[in-house]
Amino acid sequence: MLEAQTRIIEAVRAGATIDEAARQAGRSVATVRRWLTEGRKQDGKHGDFARAVDQARAAQRVEFGGEPMSYVEVERVLTDAIRRGSMPAVKMWLGLHPQDVPQAVDDPFAEFDPPGVR
């Protein structure tokens, strides 16, 4: 197994998505998804990697007991993902907290902005 694959498995065990884990390991998301696809085929080249990732993801589901998460649990998971740099988590969090989205402010100097800035 490649060193990057080991880092990806560890990141997934820690709660990262495949995309986040790929970036943390310095590999493209497309490459990691290709490894997983190849590994899930019978006698696939990256079979050990795919099985380990699938087990790590299953362990994450078991950790939450298969029950729907409470609002507090969702907040915790989102905040952890945001701290790891997940932009989809930021977008979801802002959707849950529209009151925290900065509102546009009238800019008295907008007329001096170059074309296309606004």
Number of domains in the chain: 2
Judge if 59 and 74 occupy the same domain.
no
Are 74 and 85 in a shared domain? Answer: yes
Q: Domain check: are 62 and 75 in the same one? A: no
Quick one: average pLDDT of 44-54?
92
Q: How far is CA 55 from CA 9, 36, 62, 102, in A?
A: 9, 13, 10, 40
* Same domain (yes/no): 32, 80: no
What digits encode the pLDDT tens for the residues 70-79? 788 888 888 8
Q: What is the model's pLDDT at position 95?
A: 84
Residues 48 and 73 in one domain: no
Please tell me the predicted confidence (pLDDT) of residue 110.
76
Decide if pLDDT at 8 tops 70. Answer: yes
Give the span between the Cα atoms of 18 and 76, in whole angstroms. 19
**Which of 2-11, 34-43, 101-110 has the weakest average pLDDT?**
101-110
Q: 1 lies in which domain range?
A: 1-66
The predicted model scores a pTM of 0.56
Per-chain mean pLDDT for the chain: 84
Q: Report which of residues 47 and 65 the model is more confident about.
A: 47
Residue 24 is assigned to a structural domain of this protein: yes
Q: Is residue 105 part of a domain?
A: no
Average pLDDT over residues 94-115: 76
Q: Is the pLDDT of residue 104 over 80?
A: no
**Contact status, residue 118 vs residue 110, Cβ threshold 8 Å:** yes
Q: Please say whether the beta carbons of 35 and 46 come within 8 A.
A: yes
